[in-house]
Chain A
Amino acid sequence: MNSTPIQIELISDFNLQTLANYLENGESLPAVSARVAPFGQVVPTLLTKTKKDGFDGNAFALVWTSPASVVPAFSDALQSRPVHEQEILAEVKQFAQHVITAKDRFRSVLVCAWTLPRWQRGLGLLDLQKPSGLRNLLLKMNLELISALESVPGVYILNPQDWIEAAGKNAHSPKSWYLSKTPYGAEVLKQAAVEIKAALRTISGEARKLIVVDLDDTMWGGVVGDVGWENLRLGGHDHIGEAFVDFQRALQALRNRGILLAIASKNDESVALLALQQHPEMMLRPEDFAAWRINWKDKAANIIEIASELRLGLQSVVFIDDNPFERARVREALPEVLVPEWPNDKTLSASTLLQMDCFDTAQLTNEDQARAGMYAAEQQREGLKTEMPTVEHWLRSLQTKVTVEELNASNRARVAQLFNKTNQMNLTTRRMSESELVAWTEQENRKLFVSRVADRFGDSGLTGILTLEFDGDLATVTDFVLSCRVMGRQVEETMLAVAVEYSRAAGSKKLRAEFIPTAKNKPCLEFWTHSGFDRDGAVFTWDVAREYPRPSCVQLDLSAGIVEVQHSQSVSAEAVTRETEPVPAS
């Protein structure tokens, strides 16, 4: 992660200086520079157009308010006066509008849902049930707030109730309120700092994508090689067996969200696979795993192989193993891999997994949910590769189709996600939020194209981004981003062909790209080095009068109408679905 501190402005009607202190001085990443807006001035702060001194448009904001401070009608409910629900909800909508206004000044805004202290009993027995009950009203207010903000790019809603529960009996502190206008105990603010940093990491696109899990005494109880699959502790009328089933269910839930599963286990492969196939209460079957290494080799070496097979960096990997020796070994050998401490008490396995924040994502896209299936298709592709006499035969047999379209409302969430998560095939590793991407493309001389890739084995979804900027005769590739899922299938060359063709149509004479190295984007440099472009150090150029040879094995579909060029000619959309030209040997 970038070592430059992330800036965040804390906007509240109460004193959040202690939270700022926790954010700035906590050891966990990211480093944060926090500023507290004048407390009690929430609405003026949200509506101001002026950026804070030293704070740029890349800063985040946290808006954490007590309900009565920003929804004055809720005060009537607190005073047991007659309440008008519609009036309250109208004020909630107005507050949400203020948040949306403030979003323009910030990269993202984190908004806390409203809570009540436990000692505030309201109507007691009837508090949740009656329309005038405080909790009844608060639930509706929170739903209204969520409804107003849920589809606003760059706005995320946090749930302080979780922090309050984690803090326990000292969560609310009347004495802190009277002494320093802080309604919460330090433990709540400490927990808030943890969750806010997790949110910042998530928005910065640092989610983990792969869980590599051990088998014996991690996925099930017992050593399968010793006791046989019939005698494993898994399910049945046994609290430990039930806990293992729940742990597998938790893994399954993550897989359904797009997290890949793999196995690294010291076992005989045939014995372990038989257990996965045959045990009647096994929740996860072999087909649920994108890869496995079940052998007697070093687990760190196996994890490297698995990550390589799935084209993921080690920073995407979480390793789960009940054995502290194996955990220590992997931590030492592969510091980028996240190796959580694992409880000896098996009844805690599922909850330990489900509370990990490293799988959080800032968007949920169709690509996420289909990812596990996509990797299964990838296994089929690789299987076919071994059957084909040459790579060219294999590429042709895939029947790859690349569809190119521009940024639009339906794809921008996925584009932002790909933009911020892709490391290896990334020309400049520029990071931008969804709203920043939209703002960037609003300038007339800029274009953002996305590519979707499908082949005979399935749809890999939106997996590529190409941005171009035009200045006189020069066109510049600002971003060239491709998911590792489709690397090496000549999608890269196809995207370059689109860049050259569009630049020519736009009246450019030269296409230029500058590679900015990071610790992870060497594959991108490799590709550009062999792309056929002229190279001068980190700068690659192409004379756009020359046709860029497109791979004949890739069908290119431009029917989404991306070729509307304002500068000069446009290319007709009629013949845009076509077989492409042969690619040169490189």
Chain B
Amino acid sequence: MTSIPQVPSYEDVLPVVYKGLDELNQQRARNQRLQATPECVLYGDTGSLNSLELSNFMVLMEQLVQEKFGVEIDLTEGDPFSSESGHMRTAGTLAEHISNLVREQA
């Protein structure tokens, strides 16, 4: 079993986001699957997730964070879909946001 860092960094959270993308990709056609990169766009003008997928992804990420870091977070709080500062813009912004939320609770 991998050791869990006391305060997970962005680099610690990013693989968890990628795991969520893997799960989400199982609901998507092969040619529409998302690439596991920090730049992967989730929401915005060029984002490809519809509202149901965004809902599913947020719930899934909350569960994965709970399992991995033992911390309960709420990704619907704040302004997740703001085009300028929303944490659901990319895989990278989401990982950064989760890292901050977990750090706050640590």
Contacts and interface: CB of A to CB of B under 8 A. Distances in A.
B56 A24 contact: no
Interface string A154-167: 00000000000000
A185 B59 contact: yes
B40 interface: no
B26 A26 contact: yes
B58 A179 contact: yes
Given A22-B27, A25-B30, A185 B52 contact: no
Nearest to B25: A25
A185 B27 CA distance: 13
A18 B28 contact: no
B26 A190 contact: yes
A173 interface: yes
- Interface secondary structure of B, over-half rule: helix
Contacts of A179: 55, 58-59, 76
Q: Give the interface size class of chain A.
A: 10 to 19
B26 A176 contact: no
B55 A176 contact: yes
Given A179-B58, A180-B52, A180-B56, A21 B63 contact: no
Contacts of B62: 175
A17 B51 CA distance: 11
Given A22-B26, A25-B27, A170 B63 contact: yes
B39 interface: no
A15 interface: yes
A176 B30 CA distance: 25
A186 B60 contact: yes
A117 to B, nearest CB: 15
A559 B28 CA distance: 58
Contact of B59 (A21, A24, A176, A190): A176
Among B51, B60, B76: residue with most chain A CB under 10 A: B60
A180 B26 contact: no
A359 to B, nearest CB: 26
Nearest to B23: A186
B29 interface: yes
Given A170-B63, A175-B62, A21 B55 contact: no
Nearest to B28: A25
A182 B52 CA distance: 10
Interface string A413-426: 00000000000000
B52 A175 contact: no
A176 B56 contact: yes
A140 B62 CA distance: 37
B26 A25 contact: yes
A15 B52 contact: yes
Given A185-B59, A185-B63, A186-B60, A18 B52 contact: yes
Given A15-B52, A179-B76, A180-B52, A25 B59 contact: no
A26 B55 CA distance: 20
A186 B53 CA distance: 11
B26 A17 contact: no
Contacts of A25: 26-30
Contacts of A175: 59, 62, 76
A186 B58 CA distance: 11
Nearest to B27: A21
Nearest to A17: B52
B64 to A, nearest CB: 10
B59 A173 contact: yes
Nearest to B51: A180
Contacts of B29: 24-25
B69 to A, nearest CB: 16
Interface string A164-205: 000000100101100110100110001000000000000000
A26 B28 CA distance: 8
Interface in B15-37: 23, 26-30
A182 B63 CA distance: 16
Nearest to A179: B55
B55 A180 contact: yes
A173 B61 CA distance: 13
B82 to A, nearest CB: 18
Given A179-B76, A180-B52, A18 B27 contact: yes
A18 B52 CA distance: 8
A182 B55 CA distance: 10
Interface string B74-102: 00100000000000000000000000000
Interface string B41-76: 000000000011001101110110000000000001
B24 to A, nearest CB: 8
Contacts of B56: 18, 176, 180, 182, 186
Contacts of B52: 15, 17-18, 180
A185 B59 CA distance: 8
Nearest to B58: A179
B8 to A, nearest CB: 21
Nearest to A190: B26
A389 B30 CA distance: 62
B79 to A, nearest CB: 16
B11 to A, nearest CB: 26
A175 B29 CA distance: 25
A374 B15 CA distance: 57
Given A176-B55, A179-B55, A21 B28 contact: yes
B96 to A, nearest CB: 22
A179 B80 CA distance: 14
Among B28, B29, B55, B58: residue with most chain A CB under 10 A: B55
Contacts of B26: 22, 25-26, 190
Interface string A80-120: 00000000000000000000000000000000000000000
17 contacts: A18-B27, A22-B26, A24-B29, A25-B26, A25-B27, A25-B28, A25-B29, A170-B63, A175-B76, A176-B55, A179-B59, A180-B51, A180-B52, A180-B55, A182-B56, A186-B56, A190-B26
Interface of A: 15, 17-18, 21-22, 24-26, 170, 173, 175-176, 179-180, 182, 185-186, 190
Question: 5 tightest CB-CB pairs across the interface, nearest first?
Answer: A21-B27, A179-B55, A180-B55, A176-B59, A170-B63
Given A18-B27, A25-B29, A175-B76, 6 more contacts: A15-B52, A25-B26, A180-B55, A180-B56, A186-B56, A186-B60
